Structure 1
Amino acid sequence: MQNIMTDPLLLNKIKLPLSFVANNGQEDSRAHFSTSIKNRRIFFSSDRITLVELEPIEESFPEPDDFPAPINEPDEPRNGVALELSFTNANASLAPEGISQLPGHHHFYRGNDSTKWNNGVPHYKELRYPGVWDGVDLDLSGSKDGLKMNWVLDKPDRISTIRLHWAGADSLEIDSTGNLLVHHALGTLTDLAPIAYQEIEGERKPVDCVYRLYDSFDLGFELIGSYMEDLPLIIDPIIAYATYLGGSLTDGCSGIAVDTQGCVYAVGSTNSIDFPVTPGAFQTSNAGGSDVFITKFSSDGSSLIYSTYLGGSGSDTGNAISLDTQDCAYVTGATTSANYPITSGAFQTTAGGIFVSKLAANGESLVYSTFLGNAGSRALGIAVDFQGSAYVTGEGGIIPTTPGAFQTTPPSSVSSIGFITKFSDDGGSLIYSTYLGGSSSGHCNGIALDSYNYAYVIGMTGSTDFPVTPGAFQTTLIGTGAFVTKLSTDGSALVYSTFLSGSSYDDGRSIAVDNRGHALVTGRTTSIDFPVTANAFQITIGGGSDAYLTKLSPGGDSLIGSTYLGGSQHDDGYGITVDELGHVYVTGHTSSPNFPTTQNVLASVLIGAPDSFISILSSDLAHLLVSYYLGGSGGDTGSSIVLGPEGAVYTGGETSSANFPVTPGAYQTTLNGTRDAYITKTGFVLYRQASVEIEGWF
């Protein structure tokens, strides 16, 4: 290990995405380009790539402001390690080339001598090493979360010429799943098993490919599957993380959120008295049989920024989480604890079945915490607007309503009914609160907001007189069905409300809204006549129950797309989100060995029953872009999916699998109890290869 002193650099104040900066004299002359990723600096020379990693400095919480402060490295030396990836016997006069120059420039000022300042240094979106070996090019791109390397071969037999050497590493290892582990003094660098494919008649066909170790520090690639000998081949490694989270008993994650720095916040429930908590967190011990937990991970998934219990002496269940612009976490769920932590001035300080709590950004205190409703009520969804108002939905018993709200009294015939409640930003009062239901029991499961603060909810009802609006897509209920409702901004009226069901049993579990006001929903259906569209990816039910995905028009009067998603057994959609281009992301669980997957992206098979799944569909729900199983030999369920910076995909759920595919260097790599929560982050590079539809994202 070396002590490495870094020069302080005054960088542009606006935070830029990862790019490749040309060397105009500000770096060692051997480097043609450089870039930075977290605690790593990477230098691109003619025949090698050098990675310098420093021990991380202590995390801090910057003041919220429009632009981050200039970045300055500390003056003190820090332990570091330098790794070199060199190209053995590469062609002479090899040099990287910048591709796609980006707008703006970098400016470097060292010391007081202005003759040594470097102004207007260009930076590029991609790098290319042309002709590393005959017929072999290397393309590099990336985001702030990682570096993507594509080896492009003009024909497959060129693969034998690729020979890479790692200098500065302690050892190289290929794990049981084919990942390359580069062990070094500060930890482990992980590259997932390589993905190879060929372009054949406009489609990407997978080719089985593995890393091959030649000796202790030299490696290459080997093709082990069939391929077309005269067509080009692309090898595409990726980087991601996956971690357990839990103590020695039962733990599960029901919701996640992610901030602008790529830090995941997870909420769920734990029975473990040794659930991992952090010093100084709000509550560091379990107060009852089941407590809520809230955990914030570092952006690389290797450590906890904070982790706390939240609960009283009864049973407390965390069901949903959302963040405000200051990175305060808002959580909600159900409680039977009369001594659940409540703050003075909260809206309801007497015991009730629901809690709504706002945690400070550092996880050390409650900004506010309140009960809501009576015993037996529970909250299942939460969203927060830009003003810091929390919107909560679920099912009551008795929920306080506000004058002028859409539905201020529940039918006398029901024991449970949906509700939507909007809190003031200090949690001390209600802006609006309304029931939503008919004469049979029902509930709301999920809530989402659009940019105008209209609340959209999804749920399940057995009420034929559930409030639907004239002209809505489906105004008649046949069986027990899902519903989708858009509420006015003051909670006084329905903008639209529609059933979404067939003739059997259908449940609505999760909802998202895109930037054009389309509601995207998922859940479970057992109906062979569930409403699907003619061009849907899957127009018939696959088995006993399927997940479904549906996209409603902005007015709720028609379907833009609607599809089954499932195989021959039980499948269920639990979490949904949408990106700026309209691609739809869903997670849940499946027991079907023939669940629809895309083998050309990530080969996977059903291991347990059930396994989680992650799927991405086109904006019209007509094409499956990415789909794979995620799990081990136990039971695995994906409960929540969100997008983070640079398109990274995050999922949370629960697993009883001792062989869940966690990654080296992740915070928790072993199953601690009978069931643990899990968190995964998949770099966007995984999906860039799935379809040309997504290629414009960088």
Structure 2
Amino acid sequence: MASLKHSSFSSIVVSLYVAGLGLVGCAIVSPHQPNAKETSAHVQATYLQTPLHFEANEGQTDGQVKFLSRGSGYGLYLTPQEAVLALRKPKPSGSEQETEETSPDFAVLRMRLVGANPKPELTGESALPGKVNYFIGNDPAKWRTQIPTYGKIRYDNVYPGIDLLYYGNQRQLEYDFIVAPGEDPAQIAMAFEGTERLELDTQTGDLVLQTASGEVRQRKPLIYQEGEGDRQTIEGQYVINDTHVGFHVATYDTTKPLIIDPILVFSTFLGGSGIDNGNGIALNGGGQITVTGWTETLDFPGFPSLNPLQPTIGGTDVVFITQFTADGSALVFSTYLGGSDSDQGNDIAVDGMGYIYVTGSTHSTNFPTKNAVQPNLAVEDGVAYPPGPFGNPTDAFVAQLSPDGSALIFSTYLGGSRDESGNGIAVDGNRKIYVTGDTNSTNFPIQNAFQPTNGGGGGFDAFIAKFNSNGSSLAYATFLGGGNYDVSKAIAVDEIGQASVTGLTRSANFPTKNAFQPFHGEGGGNGTADAFVAQLTADGSALNYSTFLGGSDLDIGNAIAIDGWGRVSITGRTFSENFPTKNAFQQFKNPTLVEEPCPVPGAPPNLPPCFRPQSDAFMAQLTRDGSALAYATYFGGGNDDQGTGIAINSRGEVLIIGLTGKTEDFPIKNPFSDELTGWETSFLSQFSTDGSTILFSSFLGGEVADGGLAVNKAGQAYITGGAANPGFPTVNPIQPVRGSPNLPDAFVAKIDPLRDNLNDKFSPLGPGDVSTSFSRTPCGGASAGTFTITASFTNTSANTLSNLLISVKTLMGGNMLCNANGGPGGAGAILTVPLQGDLSDSQLSPGETFTVQLAIGLQSFTPFQFLVDVLGEKD
């Protein structure tokens, strides 16, 4: 190998940022390959990070930079004189958590062109629809919004007759030298800084850049000319000289342009302990998907910042809020929210007008605030206690964004002098905002509280808070907990503003009321926790009900949802053999023990392996008053399983997402993937309205340990989480390859679990001279149980019937509405609804089959009849 030594370049560069416009994506699912098995599952769309979007620099980074692209594990910065690539190499999996004293490995590569035009014009090409917004720090003058993005950046005339074009593909940076006819490619000379050694791989022709943190490769250049409808490849290779790298190009047609296309591959830096994760997902009225989570960031390295948004370059986690179009074809916007320390988005909600609400946690003393109930990070007597891992306590935050993500409507801290986290958020029809989480502060801000003091005198309690619609005041804020450890993980609100929460409690004296299970399953204490479910009155001054839910081992409620009838469903994780069940799909916990290495220091290598009990997911629904179980079931196989997200469709069928360990006996049905990838994989499952059967259950790939789930009115599921498995499946993705074999990427996906599960049946009862056929198609996005029936009639009499369209709707709490259109010659159609009985007072809920008898005819002719069986439940 030929080699060239360079001095090492040092700079403090830490952490990761979401690629493209903010959401590092791995699409979630692809149909399982056909194996003579019918499947009713359907993947409607997948959403994935678009590769290498370039932002115009409008003040969000150093002024020398004209365009930048941030990605998972890298930041690319284009100045007129050089391209700067900052790369993060996280610590190997299992290493100690990073702190300010243990910074991660990093590398900074700089490429400049020797003897080139010092002031080339940089222009963005291939304009993209997505915009980027930065609310970093608490100085609004430094916030930046509606920043345009581009797919390509062109440097004009870097050498006489030679342009340079940057673009990206699948986390590989590509740059084309475009040599005009008659110009000499020998002018091109690239100098690299930040490497310890440059060398050519004589087998592949790659240029290998050795850094202190790892290897970066520049693939053998693709050199070509465009001909009459085809591409002619020209032989060529890198040439390393004493101070720079150039190209040797074989003979080519100098009357045509020449393209030299190197590809810089830096995927070895993308893996280990640093992650990007999607934690929450919500849908707006137009079907657009909005996701929140957190990502680690890199800033422009190596120079004093010129008016930066963020005053330090240190490693920070930043909240991202990213929105996709409903069909997943484009990114609408990405917004970054945070300060100079660690910030994390945990949950998201969208109201009927499209305004976006986010909650999470922040260590930053300069987190962006506006119209704040609490404008500052809370401290006690001027001292932050206890000091968090970044030197500050953690407060929850609550923020509202405009529908396009470009305006911060309000943003506030929420917390006391110790640590808080906002874990769940919901918004009601009047745009009131509900937040839940955990706090160990005795001075958490309380208002109109059901429980005004911390139950443990400083231990962790759950909290629930309600803001008015503009976030300017608290309607109520209350502790919820006993004398030990209590955490609320999720919140949902019903139509009249009653908030329900779930989580875990170790407190034997956790407050209960009208409880299905009034006592802790194990008695409380430090050893185990029970799940809990609690519902507050609309004004927050009292409990409607509160109950333990668990057995004699550890039980955790992870997610909660409320259906249109006010019934609360939760999912989570249980280790208990005696978790309460009713009408269960799976009545008993799988007793399998999980094998793992014995954690005994100095143990001999032949020591038998250790075993521990595994957990199952659970799914449970309470009656409306919380005093009884409607149903409850274990759900899992022979390894660790847990439910992490839950949603309820318009028919009252519960869907859950979660994680399962590698096991062959996990319950699946009509899957689009029954293949296990990696040690853990995610799943999506849909239950019947009574919880006793599964309608659909499939592996998805990836991991959704902190993921979110939403369902639209048509029953299609939207999922976000983190995908770490190399075998993570995709379908029609923008980017078909994960950025790293080890690094979890956030993903978003849209899945149609059951396209045809309404199970309506048609029975013609017409006269003998009329033959009748029926077909129906679902009305996506309509009310519960809505569908359309097209009835085709063939009449052998003198009068001819045309096609009639009959819409039958089961509206929650309303009437059954029927109408008919059509009929020949203006005669009009007669629709009698029904022939038997009066349905004007009926209320149909998912669950029970109800037969409706309809009659249809023409003017004075005797109507003929057909039956429609609708899945519904009579209250």
Q: Select the residue among 573, 583, 588 that pairs with 1:540.
A: 588
Write out aligned runs for 1:115-264 (5 A).
207-208=36-37, 239-243=44-48, 247-248=72-73, 250-264=275-289
State the Cα deviation string for residues 497-516 of structure 1 (Å, max 9, x = none): 11101011101111000111
Displacement of 1:236 in angstroms is: 8.8
Displacement of 1:478 in angstroms is: 2.5
Q: Does 1:680 align with 2:749?
A: yes
Distance 1:659 1:615 in 2: 20
| Maintained 8 Å contact 1:636/1:657 | no
Bigger shift: residues 686-695 or 302-311: 686-695
Displacement of 1:402 in angstroms is: 4.1
Query: In percent, how many aligned pairs have the same letter?
Result: 36
CA 1:468 to 1:236, structure 2 compared with 1: closer, same or farther past 3 Å? closer
Could you state the TM-score of these two structures normalised by the residue count of structure 2? 0.50
Q: Does 1:268 align with 2:293?
A: yes
- Counterpart of 1:313 in structure 2 is 340
Q: Select the residue among 515, 534, 539 that pairs with 2:564.
A: 515
Q: Does 1:371 align with 2:196?
A: no
- Counterpart of 1:428 in structure 2 is 472
Displacement of 1:288 in angstroms is: 5.2
CA 1:466 to 1:319, structure 2 compared with 1: closer, same or farther past 3 Å? same
Displacement of 1:619 in angstroms is: 1.3
Distance 1:523 1:291 in 2: 27
CA 1:625 to 1:638, structure 2 compared with 1: closer, same or farther past 3 Å? farther
Distance 1:412 1:250 in 2: 34
Residue 494 of structure 1 aligns with an amino acid whose one-letter code is L
Displacement of 1:305 in angstroms is: 0.2
CA 1:456 to 1:595, structure 2 compared with 1: closer, same or farther past 3 Å? farther
- Counterpart of 2:620 in structure 1 is 550
CA 1:551 to 1:636, structure 2 compared with 1: closer, same or farther past 3 Å? closer
Distance 2:428 2:745 in 1: 31
Q: Select the residue among 589, 592, 596 that pairs with 2:666.
A: 596
| Maintained 8 Å contact 1:637/1:655 | no
Q: Select the residue among 531, 548, 558 that pairs with 1:482.
A: 531
- Counterpart of 2:540 in structure 1 is 491
Displacement of 1:688 in angstroms is: 2.7
CA 1:517 to 1:287, structure 2 compared with 1: closer, same or farther past 3 Å? farther
State the Cα deviation string for residues 622-645 of structure 1 (Å, max 9, x = none): 00111111116xx56462111125
Distance 2:32 2:662 in 1: 25
Distance 2:628 2:480 in 1: 22
Displacement of 1:319 in angstroms is: 0.5
Q: Does 1:651 align with 2:678?
A: no
Could you state the TM-score of these two structures normalised by the residue count of structure 1? 0.62
CA 1:413 to 1:251, structure 2 compared with 1: closer, same or farther past 3 Å? same
Q: Secondary structure at the match of 2:754?
A: helix
Distance 2:426 2:335 in 1: 21
Distance 1:422 1:178 in 2: 37
Residue 289 of structure 2 aligns with an amino acid whose one-letter code is V
Q: Select the residue among 392, 405, 409 that pairs with 2:435.
A: 392
Q: What are the ranges of 5 or more consecutive residues in structure 1 without an aligned counterpart?
A: 1-176, 180-191, 196-205, 210-233, 276-281
Count of residue pairs brought into register by the alignment: 463
Q: Does 1:354 align with 2:399?
A: no
Distance 1:582 1:325 in 2: 21
| Maintained 8 Å contact 2:40/2:754 | no
Displacement of 1:410 in angstroms is: 1.0
Q: Does 1:660 align with 2:685?
A: no
Distance 1:569 1:411 in 2: 36
Q: Select the residue among 692, 695, 700 that pairs with 1:625.
A: 695
CA 1:272 to 1:527, structure 2 compared with 1: closer, same or farther past 3 Å? same
Displacement of 1:404 in angstroms is: 3.7
Distance 1:366 1:566 in 2: 42
CA 1:401 to 1:237, structure 2 compared with 1: closer, same or farther past 3 Å? closer
Q: What are the ranges of 5 or more consecutive residues in structure 2 without an aligned counterpart?
A: 1-27, 51-70, 74-273, 301-308, 379-394, 523-528, 593-613, 762-777, 779-784, 788-875
State the Cα deviation string for residues 56-97 of structure 1 (Å, max 9, x = none): xxxxxxxxxxxxxxxxxxxxxxxxxxxxxxxxxxxxxxxxxx
Displacement of 1:557 in angstroms is: 0.7
Query: CA RMSD for the aligned pairs?
Result: 2.9
| Maintained 8 Å contact 1:244/1:668 | no
CA 1:404 to 1:310, structure 2 compared with 1: closer, same or farther past 3 Å? closer
| Maintained 8 Å contact 1:255/1:640 | yes
Q: Does 1:529 align with 2:571?
A: no
Distance 2:624 2:72 in 1: 44
Distance 2:534 2:472 in 1: 26
Q: Does 1:505 align with 2:554?
A: yes
Q: Secondary structure at the match of 1:647?
A: coil
Distance 1:611 1:286 in 2: 35
- Counterpart of 2:369 in structure 1 is 342
Q: Secondary structure at the match of 2:277?
A: strand
Displacement of 1:581 in angstroms is: 1.2
Distance 1:550 1:639 in 2: 19
Q: RCO (CA 8 Å, sep 6+): is it higher in 1 or 2?
A: 2
CA 1:397 to 1:572, structure 2 compared with 1: closer, same or farther past 3 Å? same
| Maintained 8 Å contact 2:647/2:654 | yes
State the Cα deviation string for residues 229-261 of structure 1 (Å, max 9, x = none): xxxxx9997643243586225200111001122
Distance 2:563 2:687 in 1: 14
- Counterpart of 1:671 in structure 2 is 739
| Maintained 8 Å contact 1:610/1:636 | no
| Maintained 8 Å contact 1:614/1:629 | yes
| Maintained 8 Å contact 2:42/2:755 | no
Distance 2:643 2:40 in 1: 32
